[in-house]
Every structure is written in C-alpha cells, then in structure tokens.
C-alpha cells in the first residue's frame, strides 16, 4: 500500500513555507554554480588550463552531485528530509568557502567535488517535501515558483561574480567566499523551521532489507517516466552549455567585457522566471502538458543554433530571449508534473532522485565535452549545435508519453 502524506508535515508545514525554503534553496545552489562561469578566464589563466581542463571543474562537481542523488533521496524517503537537506547545505556552504581559500588547482577540484556532494542532498528530498504538501491543482505552478529560484540564483551568481571580479577587480576567489555564509544560513533554516520526524529509532525502518525489498523497480522506469528522464537529459545538456560557457563565449568570441558579461548572460534567467510561471499556470488550467512541451522544445533548439550561427549582437540577444522563454526553466514544471502523476507516492523522492540522477549525467558530460570540442574545433558553435540536436532527438521519444492522468 502506498504511503500517504506524513501527518507531521501536513499538520505543521504549510505549502507556502515549503515553497519559500525550496525557492531559497535553489537560489543558493545555482548562485554557487554560476559564480564560477564569469571567472573561468581568470582561473584558466592562473592555473594554466586548456578548455577541456576548464570543463573538468564543472564535470567533476556534477559527477559527485549525481553519484549521491539516489543515496540521499532514499535516505530522505525513509528517514528525515529536513535533516538531509539542512546538513547538506551546511556542508556545501563550508566547502564553497574552502573553494575560495585554496591555492592549487588540485585542491580547488577537490573542494568543488565536495560541494557537489553537499548539493546532492537537495533535489529528491526537496521535491518530495513540496509534492507532499502542494495541492494537485497548484502543483505545476507551485513547482514553477520553486524552480524560479534557479533563475534568481543564476542571476545572483553571474552578476555577483561579474561585479566583484570583472568590474571591481577582486580576486576570482571572492565570490566563493561571499556566497558561502548565506548558504549555511539556509541549511540552518531547514533544520529549525520544518517540522519533520527526527533521526531516532521510531522513524527508521525496522529492517533495511525490508525497505529495499519494498522498492518497486519496474514502477521507476515505466515508458512515461523513461521518456521524461530522456527529455530532462537533453534540456539539462542545453542549459549547461548555455549557462556554463556563455560568459566565456561573450568574452572570447563577442568581446564583451566587465559587468556587461553578467547582464547579457542574465538575460536567459531573467526572462525564464515569468515564462516558467506563465506556462505552469497555463498547464494547470488547460492540462495539455504534451502539447506545450512539443511547442517549447523546437523553439529552444532553434534559438541555440541561431544565436551562435549569425554573427550579430541583436540576433544573439533575441536568441537568448527565446531560449529564456522556451528552455529548461519553462520545461521543468511540465516535466516535474509528468513525474508526479506517473510516480508512486511511496517512492516520490526516489523517483525524483532517479529523474535528476539520469538527467544530471548530462551535466557531467556537457562541460568537459564542450571544452573538448572548443579545443578541437577552435570554436564554440558546434557545442550549441549538439545541444539542439539532443533536444530534437528527445522530443521524438517524448511523443510516446501518455497523459491519461490529466483527464481524471
């Protein structure tokens, strides 16, 4: 029999509280990720790295982030979501601080890998919390509100790094040190604010073998879920190429400098915030998820190609606007809604963990693959073409998804 909502969570945790905490959680996760991007040229120069080695920094971070997804999501299902998230945030905040204090590339890689472990605590547990308390008729819109924190985090990280380093000429380490303090505070808020079952004998399964046997593997990989996993893979690959390498592209290939790098790179998350909320509201009203996805994905793919093919600044800006409207941020609440209506309630956090785990494989591949392609082709266009191709290939598979639950 499937689990119902935890009565402790239902009684004490309003969905507004969960939305706010998860919103700020995403802000500081994405701020931590994007403070790296504008300072990549400075790091490259200081440590003498080629583009492939530069891409390895993000790939190693996403490798550890991906590896811990399932263990943390499983622990969150069977123990305490707030403790998994809270301790994870405190750990990654401390490791972000150390990222700004180290003096060798080896130690920097290690600290970024540790940050990935801390951030890996968040995804499955946070969506497990929100899915439990959000009413079904507010699920897509509520998820979009939470996910808008990702866009705000991209803006915060990109602008903070651009202002401190590119304009004010602080050392590249300064943004890492700056962002670490509020990150730890968010972790403490999860522990202190959310009412959740603590770590004690009464909340642990009686036998770990029983817990493992109760996992329905087949239900985790249905046709609908598998096609949704693939779509996430493609959308994340495109987003990583865009947000990780766009600042370097603007500096090296479009010769944009100073805080203009941050402002131009922030176009995508700026426009993505209202766009994601709009499409989520439309989907909650129309319940026509598949049609929306089939419209958004081709437009997103076209924007990736056009922006780097036509050497015109206005075309680039328009392409970034289109990608902001139609890219991963807009797709996220639609894909998460698809996961929610197809997952077993007793395996929500685990299903979200697999969804993110399989999708985040793209985050491991995209940075180092893009760096490799830059070194080989001496240009960045091919990387955006590959991202667009993946989006269109995943859309073919997604056409097999059925949305019977939307008619309930």
pLDDT tens track for 25-68: 999 999 999 999 999 999 999 999 999 999 999 999 999 998 88
308 in a structural domain: yes
User: Taking phi first (over 0 means left), then psi (-120 to 50 degrees means alpha), and beta for anything else, what does residue 378 get?
Assistant: left
387 in a structural domain: yes
pLDDT at site 276: 81
Give the structural domain span for 172.
9-407
Tell me the C-alpha distance between 199 and 388, whole Å. 45
Contacts of 304 (CB under 8 A, 6+ apart): 238, 241, 242, 319, 323, 384, 385, 387, 388, 391
Average pLDDT over residues 80-103: 93
pLDDT at site 375: 92
3 in a structural domain: no
pLDDT at site 326: 94
**CATH code of residue 249:** 1.20.1250.20
Average pLDDT over residues 201-227: 65
Tell me the C-alpha distance between 327 and 172, whole Å. 29
pLDDT at site 208: 47
For the chain, the domain total comes to 1
pLDDT band, very low/low/confident/very high, at 404 (cuts 50, 70, 90): low
CA distances for 338 relative to 100, 296, 342, 406, angstroms: 39, 16, 6, 9
- By 3-state DSSP, what share of the chain in percent is helix, strand and coil, each rounded to 5? 80, 0, 20
Tell me the C-alpha distance between 162 and 261, whole Å. 7
pLDDT at site 407: 43
pLDDT band, very low/low/confident/very high, at 116 (cuts 50, 70, 90): very high
Tell me the C-alpha distance between 196 and 81, whole Å. 7
pLDDT band, very low/low/confident/very high, at 197 (cuts 50, 70, 90): low
Contacts of 28 (CB under 8 A, 6+ apart): 89, 93, 153, 179, 182, 183, 186
290 in a structural domain: yes
Contacts of 290 (CB under 8 A, 6+ apart): 398, 399, 401, 403
Tokens representing 335 are 């894909």
233 in a structural domain: yes
120 in a structural domain: yes
Average pLDDT over residues 159-186: 94
Q: Percentage of the chain surpassing pLDDT 90?
A: 48
Q: What is the pLDDT of residues 289-305, one digit of tens each?
A: 888 999 999 999 999 99
Is the per-residue pLDDT at 399 higher than 90?
no
Measured CA angle at 336 (ends 335, 337), to 5 deg: 90
pLDDT at site 196: 66
pTM recorded for the entire structure: 0.78
Contacts of 54 (CB under 8 A, 6+ apart): 40, 43, 44, 371
4 in a structural domain: no
Q: What is the mean pLDDT of the chain?
A: 85
396 in a structural domain: yes
Neighbours of 33 (CB within 10 A): 25
Q: Considering only 9-18, 40-49, 124-133, 364-373, which range has the smallest mean pLDDT?
A: 9-18
Tokens representing 237 are 């690959």
CA distances for 57 relative to 109, 114, 364, angstroms: 6, 12, 10
Is the per-residue pLDDT at 6 higher than 50?
no
122 DSSP assignment: T
Is the per-residue pLDDT at 213 higher than 60?
no
Is the per-residue pLDDT at 228 higher than 60?
yes
Q: What is the pLDDT of residues 325-364, one digit of tens each?
A: 999 888 988 888 888 888 877 777 678 778 877 877 888 9
Q: Considering only 5-19, 176-190, 244-258, which range has the smallest mean pLDDT?
A: 5-19
């Amino acid at each position: 029999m499937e689990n119902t909502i935890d009565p402790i969570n239902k009684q004490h945790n309003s969905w507004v509280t969960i939305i706010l905490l998860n919103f700020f959680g995403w802000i500081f996760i994405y701020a931590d990720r994007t403070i790296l991007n504008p300072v990549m040229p400075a790091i490259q120069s200081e440590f003498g790295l080629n583009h492939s080695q530069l891409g390895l920094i993000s790939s190693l971070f996403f490798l550890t982030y991906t590896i811990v997804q399932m263990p943390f999501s499983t622990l969150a299902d069977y123990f305490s979501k707030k403790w998994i998230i809270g301790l994870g945030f405190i750990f990654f905040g401390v490791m972000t601080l150390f990222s700004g204090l180290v003096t060798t590339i080896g130690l920097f890689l290690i600290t970024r890998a540790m940050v990935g472990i801390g951030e890996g605590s968040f995804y499955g547990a946070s969506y497990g919390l929100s899915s439990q308390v959000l009413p079904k008729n507010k699920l897509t819109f509520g998820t979009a509100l939470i996910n808008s924190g990702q866009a705000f985090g991209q803006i915060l990280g990109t602008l903070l790094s651009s202002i401190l380093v590119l304009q004010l000429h602080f050392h590249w380490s300064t943004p890492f040190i700056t962002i670490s303090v509020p990150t730890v505070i968010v972790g403490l808020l999860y522990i202190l604010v959310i009412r959740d079952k603590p770590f004690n004998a009464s909340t642990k399964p009686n036998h770990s073998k029983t817990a493992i046997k109760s996992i329905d593997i087949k239900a985790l990989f249905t046709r609908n879920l598998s096609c949704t996993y693939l779509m996430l893979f493609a959308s994340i690959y495109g987003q990583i190429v865009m947000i990780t390498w766009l600042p370097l592209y603007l500096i090296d290939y479009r010769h944009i400098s100073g805080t203009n790098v941050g402002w131009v790179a922030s176009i995508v998350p700026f426009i993505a915030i209202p766009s994601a909320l709009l499409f989520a509201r439309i989907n909650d009203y129309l319940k026509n998820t598949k049609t929306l996805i089939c419209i958004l994905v081709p437009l997103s793919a076209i924007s990736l190609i056009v922006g780097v093919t036509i050497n015109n600044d206005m075309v680039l800006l328009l392409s970034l606007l289109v990608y902001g409207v139609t890219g991963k941020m807009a797709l996220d609440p639609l894909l998460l809604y698809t996961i929610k209506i197809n997952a077993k309630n007793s395996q929500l956090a685990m299903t979200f963990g697999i969804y993110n785990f399989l999708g985040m494989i793209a985050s491991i591949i995209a940075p180092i693959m893009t760096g490799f392609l830059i070194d080989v082709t001496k240009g960045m266009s091919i990387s955006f073409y590959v991202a667009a191709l993946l989006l269109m290939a995943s859309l073919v598979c997604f056409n097999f998804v059925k949305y019977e639950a939307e008619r309930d």
